[in-house]
Amino acid sequence: MSIAETLKKEWYVLLILLVPFIASAVLWNQLPDTVPTHFNIQGEADDWGPKWMTAIMLPAIGIGVYFLLLITPLIDPKKKIENTQKPIAAIRIFTAVFFVAIYGFVMAITMGVEFDLSAYVHVGVGILFIIIGNYLNSVKPNYFIGIRTPWTLEFPLVWKKTHRFSSKVWILGGLVFILVPTIPVLNSPGFLLPFILIVLAGLPVVYSYLVYRKYEKEEE
């Protein structure tokens, strides 16, 4: 499917992505000149900047990510990613919605609405991880999306087993992220950063190597 055909089919996503710009235009004069641009893990603002960073740059990042995922199949040198269009489309759409939701929360805080941003962000990230995890199981070998190691790219069986395993890991990881705000011991940088790097990113890589080694021994 061409980009034009995809955009025609996903017209509603473009509409969703444009909503923040319309909202920013309407609320521009009501926004303070200096707005929060970064929040710590407790959801508290710890850095500030000019209002265009929230009103314009934040929704622009969402559009940029959407179009990056949209054009990815075109820059695949061997066109392998065409075999996994459905998972990429789902991830692309849900990522767009996620960025718009983040914009909404940040703008609400900027306008003086008080709520626990951290809890909403953790739930949003958790849901995004669950969605990605759900589709990882159906991603076919390619150079852009999925667990891309020398072993998964070289051997289809290793790719399949690794993504079946990674799907479960990311779904469970998403559930953990949703529960983070309710469990104080988890709600800290000392837990979250190692969890992301070791469990969600590192564990699938290690697993892919172990599967490859087992496969290699069976071939000897």
Can you give the residue ranges of every domain in the chain? 1-115, 117-220
Per-residue pLDDT at 164: 95
Give the CB-side neighbour count of residue 141, counting CA atoms within 13 A: 14
Q: Pick from 170, 163, 139: which is nearest to 211 by CA?
A: 163
Q: Pick from 196, 39, 40: which is nearest to 129 by CA?
A: 196
- State the amino acid at position 104 in one-letter form: G
Which residue carries 């990881």 as its tokens?
A: 173
pLDDT, tens digit (0-9, with 9 covering 90-100), for 146-165: 898 999 988 999 999 999 99
**Sign of the four-CA dihedral 174, 176, 182, 187:** negative
Q: What is the largest CA-CA distance in the chain?
A: 71
pLDDT at 13 over 90: yes
pLDDT, tens digit (0-9, with 9 covering 90-100), for 91-114: 888 889 989 999 998 999 898 888
Phi and psi based region of residue 43 (left: phi greater than 0; alpha: psi -120 to 50; beta: remaining): left
Beta bridge partners of 49: 35
Please state the pTM of the whole predicted model. Answer: 0.76
